Amino acid sequence: TQLLEQSPQFLSIQEGENLTVYCNSSSVFSSLQWYRQEPGEGPVLLVTVVTGGEVKKLKRLTFQFGDARKDSSLHITAAQTGDTGLYLCAGAKRGSTLGRLYFGRGTQLTVWP
C-alpha cells in the first residue's frame, strides 16, 4: 500500500493550459517535497513545504501543503513544453527515521506544442 497517492498518473495537455497534480495521504507529514525527473536523470527537488496551509510559488508553479499536513497539490499555470517530465511527491513522516522519504508513484506530464 502506497503511503502517498498521486493523481492523476498521466496527464497530456496542450501548451498554455493549466493543470493540477494531487498528492494525498491519511498520514501526517512533517514536510512534503516535490521533485521533477527528466528521462535518463535522477529526480531533482523543486520545493519543500513544511507548515500546514503553506503556499509556495516557483514562477508558474504553485505548491500547497494541506492544513492538516496530509496532502499537497502542485498547480502549473500556462504549461510549457519544458514542463514535460515525471513529477514526484515525497513526504518525511513524523516519527520515522530522519532522512527517510516516502514517495508517491508519480505523475507523468506531457505538454504538447
Main-chain phi, psi angles of 44, to 5 degrees: -125, 135
- CA angle 20-23-29, nearest 5°? 140
Binding status of residue 111 toward another protein by CB under 8 A? no
- DSSP secondary structure, 25-94, as one string: -SS-EEEEEEEEE-TTS--EEEEEE-STT-EEEETTEEEEE-TTSSEEEEEESS--GGG-EEEEEEEEET
Min CB(92)–another protein separation in Å: 5
Scan residues 70-99 and list those touching another protein (CB under 8 A). Answer: 88, 90, 92, 97-99
Q: Minimum distance from CB of 12 to another protein (Å)? A: 16
Contact with another protein (CB under 8 A) among 61, 106, 109, 111: 106
Among 24, 48, 62, 84, binds another protein (CB under 8 A): 48
Stretch that binds another protein, among 18-26, 44-52, 54-62, 66-74 (CB under 8 A): 44-52
- The answer to whether the beta carbons of residues 22 and 71 sit under 8 Å apart is yes
Site residues for another protein per CB under 8 A: 2, 6, 9, 31, 33, 35, 40-45, 48, 88, 90, 92, 97-101, 103-106
